[in-house]
């Protein structure tokens, strides 16, 4: 048997998770519809004045994205846990950290990336300027992977627990506050005529920091939950 | 005389030690609370700007300091437990969590009571208030995770990992919130005490020490309960003198 390189392994895990998700598209769509729905509820709640909507658009869309990504977190490991695949994955001689990274990337492509792509449409609903919409997309592109990474740790810790879905939000949401702050900060900066680059750079820094540590920590969390 | 420190890393020996130590923390705490309150209420002069309402500082500041320190200590114990697999460290971490959450809550509560007469609002989105609130959320997450896992070993290790992740995040959250606050509005609220009266300083310091002693005493007594609960089916617990005649 020839040894898998780490890149091959990563690619294998991502492809497997994508294939499984494509067989059950409803799960992906639910997250997306939830995001659109939450964002559309805000104008109904606070009133249709364009000025106010434009002002709060960044924050509303970010909070909606945060909640939507919480919604899909429990699914990250649970299906594999239930049918025993996860146990087999952990028994494999390959690096668990890299496999967890693969699952995180797949999770982001299925729950984060669709949000980034649909965000401009919602931005138009909120009467955002073109520059603000671009910044929002860029900020979401940098920020949603961080949500998936921090979320992976929470999902691994709460694996197989009763009421895990609510619990994972309780654990993860406080830790995602910096992403929320700088994500909305970027949009706000553009709205007030400033450069968004410092906010985006900080989001990028969070992304790199999370990329280095979170797969390892999530793998440790999985080991704790599975032993 | 050489003391074998590792002897007390076993729950069975630490149980007795903790029981002996508790009075040394409880009574000084009671005395110092008394002195602190006396100085705070009767000796410390009325503040020129804030009149009598400032006296809430004597409980507010120690509570805030302790809520932050206890999180770090808790994360430290959690890390010890995770690295060396010592059961007692994990028990200490879970014994500290409710006290930390309590101090965070007291800090927010007294802050609101203080804010109403001073700033005219129960709550403002000041950086320090917001990060204290997030700290309370972190404590609650730790307690909730521990409560929802039935296997105590997994509960200890999972919540330990959470505490460590949380403690790495605390500075990031703190600075984010500070930056966010300055983005949205200038820091309008500052405690503009040019120099505190000596009696105010004394009272606050005494109250701080008293709160420390209280936190240690309550954590020790809570850890004793946790030890008994976890070890209830062992021989040494059945042979404990103070439990003779009771069903464990």
Confidence of residue B188 (pLDDT cuts 50, 70, 90): very low
Write the pLDDT tens digit of every residue in A92-132: 888 899 999 999 999 999 999 999 999 999 999 888 889 99
Question: What integer is the mean pLDDT of A151-160?
Answer: 92
User: Quick one: average pLDDT of B188-192?
Assistant: 50
Residue B43: the pLDDT is 79
- For residue B144, the chain A residues in CB contact (below 8 A) are 167, 170-171
DSSP state at residue A161: -
Q: Collect all residues of chain B within an 8 Å Cβ-Cβ radius of residue A195.
A: none
Whether residue A174 and residue B138 make contact (CB cut-off 8 A), yes or no, is: yes
Residues B45 and B199 sit within 8 Å (Cβ to Cβ): yes
In this predicted structure, the answer to whether residue B127 has a pLDDT above a threshold of 80 is no
Gap between the Cα atoms of A199 and A191, Å rounded: 13
Q: What is the pLDDT of residue A64?
A: 94
Closest CA–CA distance from residue A184 to any residue of chain B (Å): 10
Q: What is the mean pLDDT of residues A28-33?
A: 90
Residues 6 or more apart whose CB falls under 8 angstroms from that of B150 comprise none
Domain membership flag for residue A138: yes
Band (pLDDT 50/70/90 cuts) for residue B243 is: low
Q: Is residue A51 domain-resident?
A: yes
Contact A116, A143 (CB under 8 A): no
Query: What value does the CA radius of gyration of chain A take, rounded to a whole number of Å?
Result: 18
Look at residue A1 and tell me if it is in a domain: no
User: Chain A: nearest CA to B175, how far in angstroms?
Assistant: 9
Mean pLDDT confidence for B52-59: 80
Tell me what pLDDT residue B86 has: 85
What are the pLDDT digits (tens) for A209-220?
Answer: 999 999 999 999
The answer on pLDDT for B190 being more than 60 is no
What are A25's two structure tokens? 């598209």
* Among A82-91, B134-143, B233-242, the least confident range: B233-242
Q: What is the pLDDT of residue B39?
A: 84
Q: Do B173 and A163 touch (CB under 8 A)?
A: no
pLDDT at residue B182, rounded to an integer: 64
Within a domain: A177:
yes
Range with lowest mean pLDDT among A27-31, A61-65, A202-206, B102-106: A27-31
Measured CA to CA, the distance from residue B236 to residue B248 in angstroms comes to 12
Quick check: is A24 in a domain?
Answer: yes
Average pLDDT over residues A37-60: 89
* Contact: B134, A177; criterion CB under 8 Å: yes
Burial A78-113 (b: 16+ CB within 10 A, else e): bbbbeeeebeebeeeebbbbbbbbbbbbbbbbbbbb
* Residue B248 confidence class, pLDDT cut points 50, 70, 90: very low
Q: How many whole angstroms separate alpha carbon A181 and alpha carbon A55?
A: 15
| pLDDT value for B189 | 47
| Domain ranges, residue A196 | 6-226
Rounded distance, CA B245 to CA B241, Å? Answer: 9
pLDDT tens per residue across span B161-174: 999 999 888 888 88
Share of chain B above pLDDT 90, in %: 29
Interface contact flag, B179 A181, Cβ < 8 Å: yes
A205 to A140, A142, A179, A199: CA distances (angstroms): 14, 9, 10, 10
Mean pLDDT throughout A6-20? Answer: 89
Nearest chain B Cα to A189, which residue?
Answer: B183
- DSSP annotation of A3 reads P
Q: In chain A, how many domains are there?
A: 1
Q: Which of B148, B157, B179 sits opposite A161 (nearest CB)?
A: B148
pLDDT exceeds 60 at position B184: no
Q: How confident is the model at residue B191 (pLDDT cuts 50, 70, 90)?
A: low
Across the interface, whether the CB atoms of B158 and A188 are under 8 A apart is answered no
Specify the pLDDT at position A216.
94
In the predicted structure, residue B79 carries a pLDDT above the cut 70:
yes
pLDDT of res. B2 = 62
* Residue that is written with structure tokens 């649970």 in the block: A78
Report domain extents, chain B.
24-42+53-243
Residue B17, CB-side half-sphere exposure with 13 Å CA sphere: 11
Predicted pLDDT of residue B187: 43
DSSP string, chain B: ----GGGGGSHHHHHHHHHHHHHHHHHHHHHHHHHHHHIIIIISPPBTTTBGGGGGHHHHHHHHHHHHHHHHHHHHHHHHHHHH--HHHHHHHHHHHHHHHHHHHHHHHHHHHHHHHHHS-S----HHHHHHHHHHHHHHHHHHHHHH--SHHHHHHHHHHHHHHHHHHHHHHHHHHHHHHHHHS--------SS--HHHHHHHHHHHHHHHHHHHHHHHHHHHHHHHHHTTTSHHHHT-GGGTTS--
């Amino acid at each position: 048997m020839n040894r898998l390189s780490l890149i091959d392994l990563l690619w294998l895990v991502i492809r497997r998770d994508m294939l499984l998700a494509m067989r059950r598209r409803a799960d992906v769509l639910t997250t997306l519809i939830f995001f659109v729905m939450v964002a559309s509820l805000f104008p109904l709640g606070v009133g249709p004045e364009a000025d106010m909507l434009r002002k709060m658009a960044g924050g509303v869309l970010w909070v909606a994205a945060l909640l939507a990504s919480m919604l899909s977190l429990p699914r990250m490991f649970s299906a594999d846990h239930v049918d025993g695949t996860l146990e087999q994955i952990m028994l494999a001689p390959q690096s668990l950290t890299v496999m967890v990274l693969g699952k995180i990337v797949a999770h982001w492509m299925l729950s984060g990336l669709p949000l980034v792509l649909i965000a401009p449409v919602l931005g138009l609903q909120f009467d955002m300027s073109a520059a603000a919409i671009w910044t929002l997309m860029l900020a979401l592109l940098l920020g949603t992977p961080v949500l998936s990474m921090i979320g992976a740790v929470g999902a691994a810790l709460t694996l197989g627990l009763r009421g895990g879905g609510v619990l994972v939000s309780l654990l993860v949401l406080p830790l995602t506050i910096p992403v929320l702050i700088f994500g909305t900060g970027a949009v706000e900066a553009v709205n007030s005529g400033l450069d968004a680059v410092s906010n985006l750079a900080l989001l990028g820094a969070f992304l790199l920091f999370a990329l280095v540590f979170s797969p390892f920590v999530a793998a440790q969390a999985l080991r704790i939950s599975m032993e | 005389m050489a003391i074998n420190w590792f002897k007390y890393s076993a729950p069975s020996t630490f149980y007795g030690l903790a029981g002996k130590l508790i009075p040394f923390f409880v009574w000084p705490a009671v005395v110092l609370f008394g002195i602190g309150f006396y100085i705070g209420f009767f000796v410390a002069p009325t503040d020129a700007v804030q009149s009598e309402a400032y006296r809430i500082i004597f409980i507010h500041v120690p509570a805030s300091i302790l809520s932050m320190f206890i999180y770090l200590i808790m994360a430290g114990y959690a890390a010890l437990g995770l690295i060396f697999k010592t059961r007692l460290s994990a028990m200490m971490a879970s014994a500290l969590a409710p006290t930390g959450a309590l101090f965070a809550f007291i800090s927010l509560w007294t802050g609101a009571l203080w804010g109403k007469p001073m700033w005219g609002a129960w709550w403002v989105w000041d950086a320090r208030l917001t990060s204290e609130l997030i700290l309370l959320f972190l404590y609650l997450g730790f307690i909730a995770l521990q409560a929802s896992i039935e296997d105590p070993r997994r509960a200890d290790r999972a919540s330990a990992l959470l505490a460590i992740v949380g403690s790495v995040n605390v500075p990031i959250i703190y600075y984010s919130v500070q930056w966010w606050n300055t983005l949205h509005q200038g820091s309008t609220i500052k405690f503009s005490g040019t120099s505190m009266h000596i009696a105010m300083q004394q009272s606050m310091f005494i109250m701080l020490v008293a709160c420390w002693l209280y936190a240690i005493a309550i954590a020790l007594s809570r850890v004793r309960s946790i030890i008994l609960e976890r070890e209830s089916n062992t021989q040494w617990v059945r042979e404990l003198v103070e439990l003779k005649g009771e069903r464990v």
